[in-house]
Amino acid sequence: MRWDFLDDRSVLITGGTGSFGQRFAATALAYARPRRLIVFSRDEWKQAEMRQALGDHPALRLFLGDVRDRDRLMRAFHGVDVVIHAAALKQVPAAEYNPWECVRTNVVGAQNVVDAAIERGVKRVIALSSDKAANPVNLYGATKLVADKLFVAGNTYATPGDTQLAVVRYGNVMGSRGSVVPLFRRLRASGRIPITDRRMTRFWITLDQAVSFVGRALRQMRGGEIFVPKLPSVRIVDLARALAPGCALDEVGIRPGEKLHEVMITAEDARKAVEFDDHYVIQPAFPWWSDDLGAAGGGRPVPEGFVYASDTNDRWLDGEELRTLCGEREPVRRPPARSDGGQEQAVAG
């Protein structure tokens, strides 16, 4: 895709030292000529590492701050044209144990970003969401759902044409921090891989695909949309077998706050959803939004009762595709033969 829409613009990424932020920054600096590219995050060491990785680019700015601090955001957003809001606490077990900390970052922080963007006249704001925000069963998903609502509703009190806010919702990012892929790689030498449930499925997206989709959403947004890419699904069992062939699979049980399958468009969302060739758009249910805007871009309403879920998807990744996407260029060696004959085993959790 073309990135010239960022030329001569000031772009800011909250949570910019995370997996997505680093890849987005590298892509923007390689394929566009932004006037400034501001990495807003609270970890000075990660910023120093990012500076080393990206080099001394004249457009790069490293800005220490926390989205919980509204005043700091106001300072950072001065003269900014585009904001990508990627800052979040996203580890499900940590959020369950530290609920208020998760709320302060994911909800209060989101509202701070909305307020600062409107006050400073930022032209376009995209917030990164999660499939866990659809019919949430854990605190992380609930906070992301609230954040989605805040960004969509923010368009109601932004001056029309001055600040547009939208959301991108996608599934598990392959290779991001917290991904199961590094875990499977690390444990395959042991001959045993833990999985939560053999039936479990997930939506799957690569980091580059996520960055590209966010860039497209920035170009197409009018304000108020939730953009959802069409993604393949993966069975966690198939992923484990692709990365660790011959290993025993120990079924340890679903953790608290975890779903068997993920959903990106619920039946309720579908009433306002339109379909494009490679993505969906959930349109806002506000009087200032006309459903004709979706049709004008070539969108068509989804069928009655439509639900976009990882277990009923029509696109699935097989073993070889998974190995390729995970960067497994060399054949994975099977672990030494085991006394149990090498058969897969499921251990009750």
As a three-state string, the secondary structure of the chain is CCCHHHCCCEEEEECCCCHHHHHHHHHHHHHCCCCEEEEEECCHHHHHHHHHHHCCCCCEEEEECCCCCHHHHHHHCCCCCEEEECCCCCCHHHHHHCHHHHHHHHHHHHHHHHHHHHHHCCCEEEEECCHHHCCCCCHHHHHHHHHHHHHHHHHHCCCCCCCEEEEECCCEEECCCCCHHHHHHHHHHHCEEEECCCCCEEEEEEHHHHHHHHHHHHHHCCCCCEEEECCCEEEHHHHHHHHCCCCEEEECCCCCCCCCCCEEECHHHHCCEEECCCEEEECCCCCCCCCHHHHHCCCEECCCCCCEECCCCCCECCHHHHHHHCCCCCCCCCCCCCCCCCCCCCCCC
Query: Which domains does the chain carry?
Result: 4-171+205-230+264-309 (3.40.50.720)
Q: Which two tokens stand for residue 172?
A: 């598990």
pLDDT (0 to 100) of residue 298: 86
- Per-residue pLDDT reduced to its tens digit, 22-81: 999 999 999 999 999 999 999 999 999 999 999 989 999 999 999 999 999 999 999 999
Task: Return the number of other C-beta atoms located less than 10 Å from residue 146's C-beta.
Answer: 18
- Alpha-carbon distance of 177 to 184, in angstroms, equals 13
The confidence band for 349, taking pLDDT boundaries of 50, 70 and 90, is very low
User: Does 334 score more than 70 pLDDT?
Assistant: no
Residue 330 pLDDT > 60: no
Contact 112, 70 (CB under 8 A): yes
152-172 pLDDT, tens digit each:
999 998 877 789 999 999 988
Six-digit token string for 137: 């069963």
Q: Given the DSSP bridges, would you call strands 308-309 and 263-265 parallel, antiparallel or unpaired?
A: antiparallel
What pLDDT does residue 177 have? 66
CA atoms within 13 A on the CB side of 6: 30
Residues tagged active-site: 132
Q: pLDDT value at position 175?
A: 65
Render pLDDT for 183-214 as a digit per residue (tens, 0 to 9).
888 888 899 999 989 999 999 999 999 999 99
Percent of the chain at pLDDT above 90?
73
**CA 239 → CA 37, 79, 294, distances in Å?**
36, 45, 36
For the chain, what is the radius of gyration of the CA atoms?
Answer: 21
Taking CA atoms, 134 is separated from 55, 72, 142, 181, 244, in Å, by 39, 31, 8, 24, 31
Local confidence band at 329 (pLDDT 50, 70, 90 cut-offs)? low
pLDDT tens digits for range 260-301: 999 999 999 999 999 999 999 999 998 888 877 777 778 999
Indicate if the pLDDT at residue 335 is higher than 60: no
Percent of the chain with pLDDT over 70: 92
